[in-house]
Structure formats: C-alpha cells, structure tokens
Amino acid sequence: MSDLRQRFYIENCPIRGEVVHLEQALHTILAQRDYAEAIKVLLGEMLTATALLASTLKIQGRISLQIQAEGSFKWAMAECNHLGEIRALADYEADPRFDHAQDSSTVLATLVSPVLFINIEPEKGERYQGIVPLDKATLAGCLMQYYDLSAQIPTKIVLASTTQCAGGLLIQLLPRNSEEEQQLIDDDLWPRINLLTETLKADELIELDAQEILYRLYNEEDVRLPEVEQLKFACTCSKARCADALIQIGVNAVKETLDIQNPIQMDCQFCNSHYQFSAEEALGLFGQHLS
C-alpha cells in the first residue's frame, strides 16, 4: 500500500481519476529536516497533489507546486516527475504559530501575501507556470479553483495528510462527445460523483487502499483499474549539476569562493548529499589550472 498511484476510469463515461497513497517516501522526505508538525502535514498534501497532477500530464518531465509568502514562512515546494519520483522542501523561520498549528489550513491562514505557483517543465518543449492565489481555506480548494478558471476542466480534489502518511483523490470530467452526453453528465452523473466523493473522510483516504476507497465511493459504477504505479523519493542532485551551477556563477565568483572555502562544499537540502570541488577541479571547469 505504501507509495502508490492508482488510476481509474468509469466505463463508458468521460470521467477519470487517480488515488495516491504515500508513506515510506513521505517518511524519507520529512526526515531530511526538522519541521514543525503542521509544516509536515502541508508538505504531505503538496506531495500528494503533485503526484495526482503529474498523472494528468501526457509529457515526460516534471510538475512542481511552490508556495511563496512574506514573513516567517518563506516557501515550500513539492515535485513529481513522469517516473513517479517525488521530493519536497520547505524553508521558514521559527514561529510559535507553526508549532501550535494542527493542520495545513491553520498554516495557510497565517501566511502573509501567499502565492501558489504551478510549474510544468517538459524535458522537451516550453516550460509553463501558472499563478494561483492562495485565497481558499485548503490547498485542494486552491487547486480546484485553478482548474476551473485556467484549465477549464471540472475537477474535484481531496487531500489528507498526517506526519506519517498522506493520501489524495482526483477526479476530472473530460470533454464530452455530444451535446446530449454533455447534458446527461452535467445534470446527473458529475454532480452525483461529486457528492459521493465529498463523503470520503480524511482517515479513510489515508488508511484505506485505493480499491477499498473506490469501492466505498463508486460501487454502483463500472470502475476500471489499470495497473497500479509505484511512487518513490528521488533527488535530481549530482556532482555534474553542481559543476553546472559553478560554471553559471563564473570563474571570478568561483575564485572568490575558493579564497573563503577550499575545497568548495555544496550540499543538497533535499537529500543531504554533499559534493566537494578542490581548487584544481573548480578552476578546471573553466580550463584554468593552479599556478
């Protein structure tokens, strides 16, 4: 049951969906930093959401959600790629409000001028960024508003998380084949599926497996389940990427850094990996050598 994504379809109906469950990967990600419990819950919801949204993209690449704000909460981000690899990170200053918060909604309510960015980065092609105001009580509510206003795809999203595991469900109404089908689904099936989805409790979403969730919700529908997909924690850092970062800042900045720190130490905040560049290695990136 740990770290899975289950796609489902309703037979002969333009409704598709996903169920996501995270456990071991969530443990690994949250163990990288000492987060307040409510921040852990928020990251769990963000990770689940990215895994759900990534499944709707027909690209090779990655999608990330990033919350930015002013004040003690700086930012939080979560990412998922087409391989089902996820990672997340948050940066904030100590604040009693976060220590006393019990859930992600409490954290969101404390943020100053918050904005949610949805970044889609194909391996080939142009990048896309959507900007979503965080003016709803929940992350799920903000994402549904984005789909309604920007993507114009009727979407229902349910998210739940603890500090130990997280779960999410997404359903979408795809384009209909005819006006007759559109009226039938808009007037009956889609409202009914929405009402059924709203009966799902947070503990059910977190604790039950996908098949049990879908049976409890839609047992009167002809639900089809393709093969389940595995999700896992993975980081994209590498020494080669660190070398690219040094090249981007330029040889003069690298020399100044070497005056302060030799060898240059570069640390990944996502996975706590450490990379070192001796003076010879760092200058060699620019075709220079030690005199």
Domain count for the chain: 2
Same domain? For 259 and 173 the reply is: no
Write out pLDDT tens, residues 85-123.
999 999 999 888 888 887 899 899 989 999 999 999 998
Q: What mean pLDDT do residues 121-128 have?
A: 89
Same domain? For 215 and 252 the reply is: no
Which range of 78-82, 105-109, 282-286 scores highest in mean pLDDT? It is 78-82
Residue 62 has pLDDT above 80, yes or no: yes
Residue-level pLDDT at 183: 65
Same domain? For 207 and 260 the reply is: no
Cβ-contact 26, 86 below 8 angstroms: no
Residue 291 has pLDDT above 80, yes or no: no
Query: What are residue 62's DSSP bridge partners?
Result: 81, 121
Domain region containing 246? 239-284
Phi, psi dihedral angles at 193 (to 5 degrees)? -65, -40
Residue-level pLDDT at 273: 83
Q: What is the mean pLDDT of the chain?
A: 90
Is position 126 within any domain? Answer: yes
Residue-level pLDDT at 288: 83
Nearest Cα residue to 43 out of 31, 55, 59, 54: 31
Query: Distance between CA 143 and CA 130 in Å, rounded?
Result: 11
Residue 1 has pLDDT above 70, yes or no: no
Query: Distance between CA 156 and CA 119 in Å, rounded?
Result: 20
Residue-level pLDDT at 177: 63
Is position 247 within any domain? Answer: yes
Query: Distance between CA 120 and CA 110 in Å, rounded?
Result: 27
Residue 182 has pLDDT above 80, yes or no: no
Is position 290 within any domain? Answer: no
Tell me, what CATH number does 275's domain have? 3.90.1280
Same domain? For 115 and 30 the reply is: yes
Same domain? For 260 and 171 the reply is: no
Q: What mean pLDDT do residues 219-223 have?
A: 90
Cβ-contact 117, 65 below 8 angstroms: yes
The model's pTM:
0.86
Residue-level pLDDT at 186: 65
Residue 184 has pLDDT above 70, yes or no: no
- From residue 290, give the alpha-carbon distance in Å to each of 220, 243, 258, 284: 74, 18, 12, 9
Same domain? For 151 and 260 the reply is: no
Is position 212 within any domain? Answer: yes
Residue 132 has pLDDT above 90, yes or no: no
Cβ-contact 120, 57 below 8 angstroms: yes
> How many other β-carbons are positioned within 10 Å of the β-carbon of residue 57?
15
Tell me, what CATH number does 189's domain have? 3.55.30.10
